[in-house]
Structure 1
Amino acid sequence: MNKTLIALLCATLSVAACNKESTSPASHDSHGHTEAAGHGHDHGPAGEKRTHFTDKTELFVEFPRLVVGEKSAFAAHLTTLANFRALEAGKVTVILSGGNLPEEQFSVDGASQAGIFRPEATPKQAGQRDLVIEVATKDFSVRHTLGQVTVFNDRKSADAVPGEEEEGGIGFTKEQQWKVDFATAEVVKRPLRAAITASGTLGARPDGEALITATAAGQIKPAGSFPVLGQAVKKGDVLAYLAPRLGGDTDMASLQAEARRAKVELDLATREHARMESLFKDEAVPEKRLLAARGAEESAKANFEATQARLAQYGSSAGGVPLRAPVTGTIVDIRIAPGGFAQEGSLLFHVADRSVLWLQLRVPEVDAARLKSPVGATFQVDGVDERFEITHGKNGRLIAVGGAVDAATRTVPVVYEFRQPDERLRLGMAVKGQVLLAAAKEAVAVPAAAVLDEGGIPTVFVMKHGEAFERRAIRTGARDGDWLEVVDGLLPGERVVSRGAYLVKLAATKTGEIGHGHAH
């Protein structure tokens, strides 16, 4: 956990506590909102709190009991769900309607501070009214429908109605939420697949990559333009030449001269053999001379072929041994520069076809028995938020499931092939993956990041209202990517802390019940 973030949280909690202590009862009774205090959260026993979500915003609003002719201040905390930060600007309108009475609207054109808007309502009509808070910005407009609210004829009638029982919980105010990496997510029913978590790497197909090494010690010479990283090459392309260092006093020029001498000797022996054949037909020479000429030609031919083979071993051209691309692909690594000296066996170039990759996962031995018929795999790499999925028969295929447990790692390999979905993927990348075991089924689920391990017990923090949370132990099931099945403990429609759960846990050690009023 980032120490700076924790320090910020503690400081914010301390400030909130100090503000709480410094707020006088008089200010609570009058619902005053001074600039120093920000906004009052304590509206006495008759105050109300409502939390509501749209697809773009979260609203947490506090307001006193509404009385005809009395000005009632609303404290509307608005959070943009795209980043869970305070809404900076906009127009907020409180709308009272229904009950066969005229509609009443009360607006404020801006925030008193980031995220907090303070429209003031002075109702003219008593009765049961439908409460809506409308938010309009330059980018969007939304309506938060908050249900019914009672507008009382007088203050005495309002105070005579018992207030709602204050909910306990872990206090974590909107101001604290907006300052840290925080988010909530709805508990949903969604398709989930049983899976096995595994680590692994990305690699090229065995026939889709090649390591080009030095066959002998020697100097590297360019073949035209020297290759560069990322260059596309075809099978057979000459990347460079290796001019070998030969043993003793031998050099390339000597080999070439010896080859030329062998060629001259072969030509002479061939002509001599032809001459002897002609003379033998004319009975001008004995057969012994013909056989000797024939043997000399064969000997010269063998010597010539030997010199050619030796020359080819070190390169038949003046440039040296051609270093050719064994496969079509991209140059992904270069370990030598033009003119550099390479030792025998050293790596010079790495060529790979990155259009098709292999995902090689290592499944722990304890889960190996479940690897009966995998249907696909998913994986993530560091630095990329997106999760990549391989579906058998769609964008990839299962290559193999290992038949033995590795003695060192106690894992079983599972290999999938897939066409590369993203240029950000690189050979050799470490991955965090999952082997999918079955077709999807509907299940209650939450983001996996929402679940903390507290002494071996899966735990989440459930939102009770905008600034109060409840610690709750749950029972989990299958994990599918970033989602985790909840077998027991949560219901669809509830909301849990999906980012910043650890900070709420820290807040639980700093604050008591949320039922006490506090000023921001």
Structure 2
Amino acid sequence: MKNLLFILFLTIIFIGCNQSLQQTDAEHAHEAKLQLTEYSDNMELFAEADPFAVGKNSGILAHFTWLENFKPLESGEVTVSLIVGKNGVKQTLSQPLRPGIYKFEIQPQISGVGKIIFDINSDDGKAQIIVTNITVYNDKHDAEHAAEETVVSETNATFFTKEQSWKVDFATGFPLLEPFGQVIKTTALVQSAQGSEVVVSAKTNGIVLFNSGYVLEGRDVSAGQTLFSVSGSNFAENNIAVKYTEAKSNYERATADYERAKELAKDKIVSEKDLLSAKNQYENTKAVFDNLNKNFNASGQTIKSPQSGFINQVFVKNGAYIEAGQPIVVISQNKSLILSTEVPSKFAPILANIQTANIRNITDNSSFSLEELNGKVLSYGKAANSDNFLIPVSLQVENNGSFVSGSFVEVYLKTFSNNSVVTVPNEALLEEQGSFFVWVQVHPELFEKREVFVGGTDGIYTEISKGITPLERVVTRGAMLIKLSQATGTLDAHSGHVH
């Protein structure tokens, strides 16, 4: 009797465990999702879908991201179509469940290999995304089993959900395969270009008097704006006010004499010789007075800005005595700039091969190519400077508002090369104890940390000699954020998702 009870007890336990295992397997199969990733010219799709079986409802949780800024599709109408052969089913949603997220539910009617088409119509633009090789099974169990086999490995990978990436400055892209020659890194002084800077000088001796509040370094001025005056009215010698009054008096007297001589000459009272003498005296005094009247008045010289721009330098103080020809201020324009740098003489053989350059602003770490700044290589020295044995190089760029005359920038001079290499943006690289890594996209919410070997850099891109291929999409902006997310611990793959 005891043996019978013992056997019955073991049988109950075995059946219970078997049912538990079957239930666990069933739940595991039920949880398996198809992960769909596809791109159009302007949009990224990442979707998690239930396995497709004939006559069974399959949910599709789709995330739509604009590639221009990697932000979500905020609103718009989206139609999903599952097409197998000539048969298909579709569903249209007019608004997202949440920004960027649309939840569809479709029921396949025929088995086979087909495709899913997403048609997006929004105020920001239109897009069509086609996902191919979608298999619809006759049996739900077969569909779930096939979905299990497509689950990607999460080894050495970190989850970073679409909801997280939408909230930060984030982007992915393919490495570039481009020519990458030798790069010369140097520092350049930013200066206003010749023709964009004018020195305003005094035209007479006197005391300089500034217009209140205008003659300040950095102050914007417009062409023709009065800046200051130079007065010598209190001087015993070289008094411009006396010279102006004298010239005006001589001009008025010569004008009267000439007009009278012309009238008398009509009646032959004045000889032609006297008329010519009066005319000559009139023209001489007029030239002297016009010159003084153009640049001076009875109180002295009024000096105006010859061009629009800003006051770069002020050489004298208000009330100081100045002499004719002495510089007073410099009016500059920041539109066109000269970047002056010097490189070691060992680079002399390759300076003729410099094609372009990248410029990095030290203050805010922003970087620009020479083409973005409508710039060009002006010149390079043919001999080393005798003082420091360096060779001068000059670039010209248009100021986009990021540069200040008198400051310094980093310049990466790029030479021409026929060799194409794999490059990634500098922002894509992470450095840890002398080693470099990038995040390689497994799918838009899962990223693998991959070590790479780097070569030279041009300030914007870095050469990758080993570790990735041009066909592997990597994180180009926001790599540090994924690292911080990894440091906080393992994230739920569906954190933030709506099911």
Q: TM-score, normalised by structure 1?
A: 0.65
CA change 1:362–1:343 in 2 (3 A) is farther
Q: Which residue of 1 aligns with 2:275?
A: none
Give the superposition deviation at 1:76. 0.3
Cα distance, 1:332 vs. partner? Answer: 2.9
- Residues 1:348 and 2:323 aligned together: no
How far apart are the structure 2 equivalents of 1:415 and 1:29?
Answer: 71
Which residue number in structure 2 is paired with residue 57 of structure 1? Answer: 43
Choose from 235, 244, 253 the match for 2:236.
253
Structure 1 Cα separation of the partners of residues 386 and 44 of structure 2: 51
* Equivalent AA in structure 1 for residue 33 of structure 2: G
Query: Structure 1: how far apart are the matches of 2:175 and 2:395?
Result: 32
Distance in 1 separating the partners of 2:402 and 2:151? 54
Partner of residue 116, structure 1: 101
Instruction: Give the equivalent residue in structure 2 for 1:493.
Output: 471
Is the Cα–Cα contact under 8 Å of residues 310 and 333 in structure 2 kept in the other structure?
Answer: no
Equivalent residue letter for 2:71: R
Check the 8 A contact 2:191/2:340 in 1, yes or no. Answer: yes
The equivalent of 2:381 in structure 1 is: 400
The one of 433, 443, 452 aligned to 1:455: 433
Deviation at 1:405, TM superposition (A): 9.1
Which residue identity lines up with residue 444 of structure 1 in the other structure?
Answer: V
Alpha-carbon distance between aligned partners in 1 of 2:355 and 2:314, rounded to the nearest angstrom? 43
Q: Secondary structure in 2 aligned to 1:110?
A: coil
Tell me whether 1:202 sits opposite 2:180 in the alignment.
no
Counterpart in the other structure of 2:222: 231
Shift of residue 45, structure 1, vs aligned partner: 5.3
2:412 paired with 1:434: yes
Question: Larger RCO: Structure 1 or Structure 2 (Cα < 8 Å, ≥ 6 residues apart)?
Answer: 1
**Contact 1:189/1:492 (CA < 8 Å) preserved in 2?**
yes
Q: How does 1:97-116 map to 2 (within 5 A)?
A: 97-98=83-84, 100-116=85-101
* Structure 1 unaligned blocks of 5 or more: 1-27, 32-41, 246-250, 264-311
Report how far residue 170 of structure 1 moved. 0.5
Q: CA deviation at 1:374?
A: 2.9
Identity %, equivalent residues: 25
The one-letter amino acid of 2:170's match is: F
Query: What amino acid does structure 1 have at the position aligned with 2:35?
Result: K
Q: What is the DSSP-based 3-state SS (H/G/I as helix, E as strand, rest coil) of the residue aligned with 1:175? A: helix
| Greater Cα offset, 123-132 or 497-506 | 123-132
Judged with a 3 Å threshold, the aligned counterparts in structure 2 of structure 1 residues 471 and 226 are, in CA distance, closer, same or farther, namely closer
Report the 3-state secondary structure (helix = DSSP H, G, I; strand = E; otherwise coil) of the residue aligned with 2:354. coil
Change (3 A) 1:164 1:84: same
State the Cα RMSD in Å.
Answer: 4.6
Structure 2: how far apart are the matches of 1:212 and 1:380? 33
| Aligned 8 A contact 1:47 1:163 in 2 | no
Provide closer, same or farther for how the CA distance between residues 44 and 457 of structure 1 changes in structure 2, counting only shifts above 3 A.
farther
Q: Which 10-residue stretch deviates more, 475-484 or 139-148?
A: 475-484
Matched, 1:473 2:459: no
The question of 1:414 aligning with 2:393 is answered: yes
User: Given residue 482 of structure 2, which amino acid in structure 1 is its aligned partner?
Assistant: V
User: After superposition, what is the alpha-carbon deviation per residue over 1:430-478, rounded to whole angstroms, capped at 9, x for unaligned?
Assistant: 4332212225653322222212222222321111101100111222334
Query: Hey, what's the Cα distance between the residues in 1 that align with 2:49 and 2:198?
Result: 71
CA shift, 1:177, in A, is 0.7
Query: 1:74 aligns to what SS in structure 2?
Result: strand
The 8 Å contact of residues 40 and 127 in structure 2, kept in 1 or not, is answered as: yes
Q: Residue in 2 aligned with 1:505? A: 483
The 1:480/1:193 distance shift into structure 2, 3 A limit, reads farther
Secondary structure at the aligned position of 1:252 is classed as coil
1:129–1:478 distance in 2 versus 1, CA, 3 Å: same
Q: Choose 53-62 or 124-133, whichever is displaced more.
A: 124-133
For residues 250-329 of structure 1, what are the structure 2 equivalents within 5 Å? 252-253=235-236, 319=299
Contact 2:43 2:65 in 1 (8 A): yes
3-state SS in 1 of match to 2:457: strand
Partner of 2:54: 68
